[in-house]
Amino acid sequence: MFLMIKKDIKAVFQRDPAARSFLEVLFCYPGLHALWAHRLAHALYKRGLVFLPRLISQLSRFLTGIEIHPGAVIGEGFFIDHGMGVVIGETTQIGDNVTLYQGVTLGGTGKDKGKRHPTIGSNVVIGAGAKILGPIVIGDYAKIGAGSVVLHDVPANSTVVGVPGRVVVHEGRRVASIDLNHIDLPDPVADKLLNLQKQIDELCSRLEECLKEGKAVDNQGV
């Protein structure tokens, strides 16, 4: 247990430049408090208890603004930055060294029983406000842009942006460490609009040339 706590604190120092002291991290990081409350609730949940784990989860939600269902499985090195509004569903599975920012939802779709929440691979970064819905799989080293809505599987080493989420980078240069940049991402819609504008400009230029050639022919005929 103490080794796990040590790894949780280490993850904060690795990924938050604002973390300056052990006491600050211990007492002032709600993501850390929510994670520790979840580890307790999850241990009770695995023993077949229902009410007490949910009660711990709801008390943690009240104190931290982060809701993690006791049934969720979370690996080592998990870090929630800021955390307010984060929701993690019952059948969610999260790998190691995953980073979530505020407002992230790992939710289900519909009332189906069984696996209905996402499976998140290791070394994944999920940007602020992103929604990952349904029993989909997010591959290792994936990066989900802020505000994205992801409804389909995401391959490993991919970057996803947009609503609905689209894979815009796949099998690019693999990072040796966790890349926390979730805002400087490609914009496929803007790229498409720029391409259309370029084509329109080219057509206008060609039209002007045709009109000039037509006037020159008319003048010669006269």
Q: Are 161 and 149 in contact (CB under 8 A)?
A: no
Regions of the chain where pLDDT drops below 50: 175-177
What is the C-alpha to C-alpha distance for residues 93 and 67, in angstroms, rounded to an integer? 15
pLDDT of residue 176: 46
CA separation for the pair 152, 174 (Å, rounded): 22
pLDDT at 175: 45
What would the pLDDT profile of 187-202 be if each residue is shown by its tens digit?
Answer: 667 777 888 888 898 8
Fold of 2-184: UDP N-Acetylglucosamine Acyltransferase; domain 1 (2.160.10)
**Domain boundary assignment for the chain:** 2-184, 187-222
